[in-house]
Chain A
Amino acid sequence: MSAPTLPAALADATRDDASLRRFLHGLPGVDQVGVEARAAALATRSIKKASKLWAIDTAISMVDLTTLEGADTHGKVRALTAKARRPDPDRPDTPQVAAVCVYPDLVAAAVEGLRGTGIGVASVATAFPSGRSSRQVKLADVALAVDSGATEVDMVIDRGAFLEGRYGAVFEEIQAVKAACGNAHLKVILETGELVTYDNVRRASWLALLAGGDFIKTSTGKVSPAATLPVTHVMLQAVRDWFTATGELRGVKPAGGIRTTKDAIKYLVAVHEIAGEQWLTPELFRFGASSLLNDLLLQRRTQHDGHYGGPDYVAVD
């Protein structure tokens, strides 16, 4: 079950269930007090003027504009795609977002709305958000998304299997979904709020990277806590360590609960100082968010105009 591109030591780690367990439990632990202190310290970086503007534009270009409600309609998705094409109609120099993220049955609508823009269409498949269904159903979900034109698939891992210690099962499922994705990029949602400990977050991150996930993603947004700075720190360390071990660049996506420009900038600082400068691109870092974009747009206007315009100057979609 090993992936062919991995260096020998890592390939060996995925030989069977026992070696996978040995490898994951052999990773350095994460000290809770330490990682939270570091996250808090980095959050005090003062970003203003030119660097703030740069950060705002970069953050906009990293947004996966998301709607994941039971009440989602074609109309809602169309409105969202319009917003993704032109986030701020008064200011054409505003960057486009990275992708629009919807449920599989609405992918076609999103593809239609984004035709010719180069903006990605992401879809949460695999019985999102709980992941509690058969492999067959999960893969069918992925197929629906991919066949409808999704360029990115956000899968959830089987947290139950992970917490039971059945790492091999989680690994195989990620590999199966990756195969089903074809050319679509795979983001693996760890649902860190349910994994609880930072040690688990680190192990799940490595598991997803070993199985071929292009991105590791914190949360579905349906479980509290969703993305937090310290959890994202641990995941950024994982992709950095992965790069050191393999030379491959993999991405990180915090999702859920990031609502303000101030918060987004804290994440960018973490990307910059923990993983490194080369991760500061939509290819390797995304924000899973719905309301963040409007705050970014308002703050962008504030920076350019010198005064705050207010929420009625941006679209509510």
Chain B
Amino acid sequence: MCEFKTYETAWCPGCGNFSILQCLKTALEELKKDPYEVLMVGGIGQAAKTPQYISANSFCGLHGRSLPAAVAAKIANEKLTVIVDTGDGDSYGEGGNHFIHNIRRNVGITHFVHDNQIYGLTKGQASPTTSEGQITGVQVTGSVNTPLNPVLMAIAAGAGFVARAFSGDTKHLTEIMKQAITYPGYAIVDILQPCVTFNKVNTYAYYKSRVYHLEEDYDSSNKLEAMERAMEFDDRIPIGVLYQEQKQTFHQKNIVLAGREPLVERQRDSTVIKQLMNEFV
């Protein structure tokens, strides 16, 4: 049985990050992943510290830049199970451009966004998902910007696996995580997560009274239906796999990578350079 240890964390007591980390460990263990084949990638932020708190390979890079590093590590070595664990600021704010374009790339990595609708590490400014009108230390008269809907955006941009989950529903979250990790392409899970210190609006009680499981007969292959459900984010918030489709992955489409051993295992062929030089003679 594989075991993923947890290290001491720097999170506030009661933080939603704890249950996300616990669910991640359970999901990986239940999937029988070997910790040595798992690469955890984070950017900057409280959620982005998750890779440091679990016994696996870890890459903690720059704010907003977790996706490019993660996809390239996967491109280099397909054998790694690459999981990005990071926050809404990292994923949708500073990293917004990478979020859009890595959906298009469809490299087989899993992206868990700890979405607490606030900037925690920098002490409570609006994030891209903060509700309109919410007052913060910087948005002193209330945020005037329309909150981003990450799952709707992901479906619209062509993501093959889009889910929403809630850190307070751990059994459900673990199941969604397992499905996301085993999905062959890019899988995004937006995880609603209370920030007990800085977000007094989106509390445990707030989410608990609103989230509901997608029905058992919900058809996750229906894109229009998925977009409608993705837009439901008010009194009722559906959680589960909103949209899923089988798409060719980057590794299947890239002619250098397709059907071959990982790039990092390939040896340099010195005869090629001679041929290439001859083209200039």
User: Are A and B a genuine interacting pair, yes or no?
Assistant: no
